Structure 1
Amino acid sequence: MVRLLRPLLRGRTYTRLLHMWVPVAAVSVWWWVQPELPWVPLVVLVPVGLLPGARVAEVMQARLLLTPDEAEPDFATRPATAWRDRWRTVLWLEIRALVGAVVAYATVWLPIMAYALAARAVGHRTGDLPPMPGPPDWVFGLLAPLPLVALYAVVAGLGAGLTGVARRLLGPSVAERLAAVEERTEQLLERTRIARELHDSIGHALTVAVVQAGAARAANSPEFTERALAAVEETGRAALEDLERVLGVLRESERPASARPTLTDADRLLESARASGATVDAEVTGPLETLPGPVSREGYRILQEALTNVLRHAGAVPARVRVAAADGLLTLEVRNPLPDGRPAPGRGSGLRGIRERAALLGGRAHTGPDGAGDWQVRVELPLG
């Protein structure tokens, strides 16, 4: 019994009643003036529902009155552009108008019926009930609560049913759900890319700073210490610039990707590695300035992570860097000897990020020992 009466204590029961009354209030004037043409408002609702913005207005009312206690109800958030969605809105308006008419009739006449039965029970005859010879008046007292029970069932039942219909007809279509999933996927990919940007840029700067600080302390030379501090300062400034670019992506979703560094800025990475004590033998061939933007930007990050790997795991060792753009392919290769007693890199997220970047561009990446005592990072990215 408590469960059956629980809707009486919920505010949404009464907001749904208001929602069902709204269309009746809008057309009641017409029904009063032209009662012989009650179907005219239903015809007028057809062109109204075909308007793209009609669904937005209906969704706003449904959120406010049908699902006031739900934080994220499953309703569409954009105007209906497809004709199928517009006709769904038309069907919703027609159903809402018919349900509103039933509820309006019930909420007016059922209480009157209950009053008439109660009045008959006490011997007061009203014009709402026809003469009914036979049963004693007290029988009508037993029947008086029934119209109110019926009213409760109509209000609660039709309110819940109309809410279910609203979820189906005002909810996003299959195409809109797919578009929302794709948009969400793009957002997650963007967040992943931003995380990689921060990892590669800040990780590289911190690695250079740590290596330089350790080398300066071991060298015990004022001149070397001064060069090390200058390298740390330059790397830190570059990292701050990269951080500002990444944060700019968060602040301005339409910021052009061209603001990010490309392979034409590779000299900065090479000089930073050399300043950290590594001997870098670099060979760059091909027109890097004509590379496609995504390939050049991701190539820069791949080269940055590969050099960071050298400094982090091998230290100040000779490194050979090859960057070649030819025959529709960009090839990046970084080799360095594996110091004795040091584990080979490969368990962190940096190398995994290199492989993921290459895969996203349709390329391939190989990382690991080459059989000759060197650690190799080789990436091939198609330019098409």
Structure 2
Amino acid sequence: MIRGIRPLLRGSTYAGALFAYCGALASLPLLPFAMLPALVWRSAPYGVRFVLTLLVWAALIVVVGLARTTRRVLIVGARRLLGVSLPDPVVRRRPTGSPGTASAPVVSSGADRWRTPLWLLLQVALGWTGGLAGMVLLGAGLALPGGWSGAEAGLSLFGWSVRVGDGWSSWVVALVCLVLVPVVCVVVTGALRWLAPGLLGPSSAERLALAAERELLLAERNRLARELHDSIGHTLTAATIQAAVAGEVLCVDPVAARAALRGIEESARAALEDLDYVLGVLREEEPGTAPARTLADLPELLDRLRCAGAVVEPVLSGDLARVRGTLSRAAYRILQEGLTNALRHGAGGPVEVRVTVAPDGLELGVVNRTGTGAGTGTGAGVFPTSGHGLPGLAERVRLLHGEIEAGPDGPRHWRLAVRLPIRLSA
């Protein structure tokens, strides 16, 4: 009993009914245009002209429902007044920060396109039906009691009459009519809430588009995490070593100290560019141009390592200009991560960097001295076997359909070798 009364006491019930009534009122400006054919065809019977007016009115409502703006307005209204959880109309967007990815709206099927006009027709029909029923019941509740209308109370509508005798019966009927007014609101609101998910909610195609967009967004976040790990991790490692070098030679060799400090400044500036870009993406702001570092920036990276005191022996072969786009950016990050690990975990010996551009692939390699205990799990200078570096590299290489090897190369060296198909650079 109490459960049945609760909907009558909720404000959301009447807000939903208001949504239906607003739809009915919004259709009124279309009524004069719907009456034009009936006015022209005066010789037709009244019933035919009435039906013709209704059909033209419904057609005009359908035309209004085909507009994209109408769907957006209806979804916002249903969320606020019906309390139904509905996502915004799906528009396939490029993932934030992905350069060169075109955005395009989701192409809906014909059945999906007609869901909004159907909703609008049903909303207007429910609004007029509920509004007229509510007004009739309210008028009956006020007019039927004998004290208002004389000895015999009654109601006549469209040729249909109800007469209630004087006395307590008229008051009972009037009370029932007044109680039925909020019941009508409950029915109208309940019907709209039941229809909203199917007609205003996402279709199957839109749900697939939402899932694809979430997948793209997740992939973009993972890419940003890798970029941030590579950039900031390398910068902190290089800056730590450069600061130690500057502190040791500050009094003995001021020129070397200034070079180390300049290397810290350049590394920090590059890392700040990457950080500003990533933070702009995560805050869903309009980011600037992505800092796309490629193999063309490899000499600068090696110079910063030399300023940190590392001995780098680059071996470059082939035409690096053939490597472009995604492959070039990925190759730079792979080498950056490998060199960072060499600085962080190496024994201070020379680091060999190999870049070979073959006709069918790109080969990358980093070999560094690890000191005693390489690959045994004990001793200083052991290359890490856990953390985010190697798994991140493996994931990046896998996405590019490449091959990766990382492990001991003899008793005192660690080797990172990566091979990527060069056809992906196109």
TM exceeding 0.5: yes
Q: Secondary structure at the match of 2:155?
A: coil
1:375 and 1:365 mapped to 2: Cα distance? 14
**Structure 2 Cα separation of the partners of residues 260 and 217 of structure 1:** 33
**Alignment of 1:172 onto 2:211:** no
Q: Say if 2:22 is the partner of 1:22.
A: yes
The amino acid of 2:17's aligned partner reads L
Match of 1:247 among 276, 279, 287: 276
Q: CA deviation at 1:24?
A: 2.5
Q: Quick check: 2:230–2:333 contact (8 Å CA) kept in 1? A: yes
Alignment pair present for 1:46 and 2:62 = yes
Conserved? CA contact 1:208–1:232, under 8 Å: no
Alignment partners' CA distance in 1, 2:315 and 2:286: 36
217 and 77 in structure 1: CA distance in 2 versus 1, 3 angstrom threshold: closer
Deviation, structure 1 residue 309 = 0.3
Shift of 1:228: 4.1
SS in 1 for 2:153: coil
> Following the alignment from structure 1 to structure 2, what is the Cα–Cα distance between the partners of residues 81 and 113?
50
Q: CA RMSD in A?
A: 3.0
Q: Residue 373 and residue 4 in structure 1: after superposition, are their counterparts in 2 closer, same or farther (change >3 A)?
A: same
320-329 or 57-66: bigger deviation: 57-66
Instruction: Describe the shift of the 1:226–1:189 C-alpha distance in structure 2 as closer, same or farther (beyond 3 A).
Output: farther
TM superposition shift of 1:182: 2.0
Give, in angstroms, the shift of residue 131 of structure 1.
Answer: 6.9
- Does residue 335 (structure 1) correspond to residue 367 (structure 2)? The answer is yes
Kindly state the Cα deviation for residue 25 of structure 1 after the two structures are TM-superposed: 2.1
Alignment correspondent of 1:185: 215
Contact 2:250 2:257 in 1 (8 A): no
Structure 2 contact 405–418 (Cα < 8 Å) conserved: yes
Give the Cα–Cα distance (whole angstroms) in 2 for the partners of residues 121 and 221 of structure 1: 108
- Tell me which moved more, 365-374 or 304-313: 365-374
Instruction: Specify whether residues 91 and 212 from structure 1 end up closer, same or farther in structure 2 by C-alpha distance, changes over 3 A only.
Output: same
Deviation at 1:132, TM superposition (A): 5.5
CA distance in structure 1 between the aligned counterparts of 2:289 and 2:339, rounded to whole angstroms? 27
Q: Report the Cα offset of residue 103 of structure 1.
A: 0.5
Matched, 1:73 2:100: no
SS in 2 for 1:347: coil
The TM-score normalised by the length of structure 2 is 0.78
- Deviation of the 1:110 alpha carbon: 1.1
Report Cα offsets for 1:284-320 as digits up to 9, x if no partner. 1111122121111111111111111011111422211
**1:135-161 per-position Cα deviation (integer Å, ceiling 9, x unaligned):** 873234333332233322221132022
Does the 8 Å CA contact 2:313/2:353 hold for their aligned counterparts?
yes
Between the aligned partners of 2:261 and 2:230, the Cα distance in structure 1 is: 16
Q: Hey, what does 2:397 align to over in structure 1?
A: 358
**1:51-102 alpha-carbon deviations (Å, 9 max, x no partner):** 33332232233234323xx7x6335255985333221112112211221122
- Aligned partner (choices 201, 207, 214) of residue 231 of structure 2: 201
Alignment of 1:265 onto 2:297: yes
The aligned counterpart of 2:12 is 12
Q: Is 1:146 matched up with 2:176?
A: yes
Deviates more, 1:42-51 or 1:1-10: 1-10
* SS of the residue 1:167 aligns to: helix
Give the CA deviation at 1:205: 1.8
Task: Please name the residue that 1:234 is paired with.
Answer: 263
What one-letter code is carried by the residue in structure 1 that aligns with 2:116?
A: T
Q: In 2 relative to 1, CA 232–194 (structure 1 residues): closer, same or farther, beyond 3 Å? A: farther
Q: Deviations over 1:21-69 (max 9, x none)?
A: 12322445749977824343112222222333332232233234323xx
Q: Distance in 1 between matches of 2:190 and 2:228?
A: 49
Structure 2 residue 345 is the aligned partner of structure 1 residue 313: yes
Give the aligned partner of residue 155 of structure 2.
128
For structure 1, the residue ranges without an aligned partner over 5 or more in a row are: none
Residues 207 and 315 (structure 1), Cα distance of their counterparts in 2 relative to 1, 3 Å cut: farther
Aligned pair count reads: 378
Distance 1:239 1:380, change over 3 A: farther
- 1:278 paired with 2:310, answer yes
CA contact (8 A) 1:292 1:383 kept: no
* Residues 28-37 or 100-109, more deviating: 28-37
Instruction: Check 1:213–1:235 CA distance in 2 against 1; reply closer, same or farther (3 A cut).
Output: closer
Q: Distance in 2 between matches of 1:200 and 1:131?
A: 83
Kindly provide the CA deviation profile for residues 170-193 of structure 1, in whole angstroms up to 9, marking residues without a partner as x: 112222222222222222322222
The whole-number CA distance in structure 2 between the counterparts of 1:74 and 1:17 is 21
Gaps of 5+ in 2: 39-48, 92-104, 373-378
The CA distance in 1 between the partners of 2:121 and 2:407, in whole Å, is 67
Checking the alignment, whether the CA contact within 8 Å between 2:146 and 2:153 is kept in structure 1 is: yes
